[in-house]
Amino acid sequence: MREILRGRLISRGEAEGEVLISGDAVSFLGGVDPKTGVVVEKGHSVEGKCIAGKVLVFPHGKGSTVGSYVLLQLKKNGKAPSAIINIDGEPIIVAGAIISEIPMMDSPDKNPLEVLKNGQKVKVKCTDECSAVYSI
């Protein structure tokens, strides 16, 4: 059965990919290697996982404003997530998604940490509205 997660449009675009869920906030500056897309923050819930091409789902961002530019560097290196779903988008992640042209949504109508699963295929469409279509 097909389900739809609806949220606030942050950055326009469409993308598909496998879900990678982090229960922890993400800091791109120092937390993600911009050359490889691997989460390097010690003790992080997705430490050692690569975010490249994934629909990255996490509560919110954290850390330095330079994190926005790390997202841009990830995009230039072909190691960025295909889309971002946050519970609460904050300025660092929002700016990074917009300048990197990574589709992003926040304020979802259901908790994505509970309804989505790691490895699940999701299509994110952020045009006039924002939705993530998945199967259960």
Instruction: Indicate the domain borders of the chain.
Output: 2-135
Closest by Cα among 109, 50, 108, 54 to 83: 54
Closest by Cα among 88, 125, 135, 128 to 103: 125
Please state which CATH class domain 2-135 belongs to.
alpha beta
Residues 22, 103: Cα–Cα separation, whole Å: 18
Residue 136's pLDDT band (boundaries 50, 70, 90)?
Answer: confident
Task: Note the pLDDT tens digit of each residue in 33-70.
Answer: 999 999 999 999 999 999 999 999 999 999 999 999 99
Residue with tokens 């946050």: 86
- Which alpha helices (DSSP H) does the chain contain, by range? 67-76, 91-100, 112-115
Catalytic annotation on 64?
yes
What's the average model confidence in pLDDT over 106-115? 97
Residue 95 three-state SS: helix
Of 45, 64, 68, 135, catalytic: 64
